[in-house]
Amino acid sequence: MTGWFACKVTSGRKSAQYGIRFSYPLYISVVALGIFLANPYILSITALIALFGVILPMHPFDYIYNYGVTKLIGTEQIPGRGSESQVSSSVALLFNLGVIASIIFEIQLNYGVMALIYVLSSIFFIVILLKSR
């Protein structure tokens, strides 16, 4: 069932790989923190970040990387990652909204296990993404 969506090809430059290694772990860490703390406010911020990841041409943390981190470490800016960022941000947005709803409506879930599943699945997709380059 492959081929139901197509992602634009992104640059194979090292700067793009550094940017991917910056924004995904940072975002995953904030989401995991929000889930472990069962804090709907932190998760609302991550949902907003994911929404901007869907709407904007680049992920919000890519802008932080481009206009902050590149100045510190002396690499080039990320030219853009293509539509895989919008797809992953859409999935993250739905996941965050589901967890927020379960916290607000006090649905009994093991949030530590949910955070672990989120982190492990994110690492899995990061590895797949980096190996395909």
Do residues 85 and 125 lie in contact, with contact meaning Cβ atoms separated by under 8 Å? no
Of the candidates 52, 53, 47, 51, the one whose C-alpha atom is nearest the C-alpha of residue 35 is: 47
Q: Is 106 strand, coil or helix?
A: coil
Entry pTM? 0.75
pLDDT in tens, 12-34: 556 566 667 788 889 989 998 99
Indicate the domain borders of the chain: 14-131
pLDDT at 94: 87
Write down how long the chain is.
Answer: 133
pLDDT at 1: 39
pLDDT in tens, 48-82: 999 999 999 888 998 999 999 889 988 888 877 77
pLDDT at 63: 92
pLDDT at 41: 97
